[in-house]
Amino acid sequence: MQIHISPRDIKLTPALNAYVANKVSHLEHYSDSIIGAHIAIHHDTTRAGKHAFVIKVHLAMPGPDLHGEDRGHDLYQAVDLVVERLAEQLRHRKNKITKGARQAARKAKGKPVAEELVE
């Protein structure tokens, strides 16, 4: 996965770069098909310390891309929040795909699908 970090109104230190890259690279645990990630880090000076850091992440994947945005009073907290939000989206996407594959296999074998059992 290629990771591209663009800081806006903030200085990108090596420690911050390593932290963000490490957190985002852990998302590959949920899906091996992530092509790249674009992370935009923004410091909103008008908010005066309360949720002043904004992190926007765009994950490029086959099919629909995933987007996440979160705010935090601390830069590292905002990174953690957006990564957790994207992990939730990836888990949901994986469950949806495996559920469809399982239902198709059950139909092919002639077994009743859960939706048919309810009716």
The string of pLDDT tens digits covering residues 6-46 is 999 889 999 999 999 999 999 999 888 899 999 999 988 78
- Enumerate residues 6+ apart whose C-beta is below 8 A from 43: 8, 9, 10, 52, 53, 54
Q: Can you give the pLDDT at residue 49?
A: 64
CATH number for 28: 3.30.160.100
Those residues with Cβ within 8 angstroms of residue 113's Cβ, 6 or more apart along the chain or in another chain? 103, 106, 107
Classify 43 as helix, strand or coil: strand
**Residue 115 covered by a domain:** no
Answer yes or no: is 97 within a domain.
yes
Residue 47 in domain: yes
How many Cβ atoms are within 10 Å of 108's Cβ, its own excluded?
8
**What would the pLDDT profile of 56-110 be if each residue is shown by its tens digit?**
999 999 989 999 999 988 899 999 999 999 999 999 998 888 887 788 888 888 8
Count structural domains, the chain. 1
Q: What is the pTM of this model?
A: 0.80
Alpha-carbon Rg for the chain, nearest whole angstrom, is: 19
Residue 16 in any domain: the answer is: yes
Give the C-alpha separation, 113 to 102, whole Å.
Answer: 9
Q: Quote the CA–CA distance of 75 and 20 in Å, as a whole number.
A: 10
Other beta carbons within 10 Å of 32: 7
* Containing structural domain, residue 98: 2-110
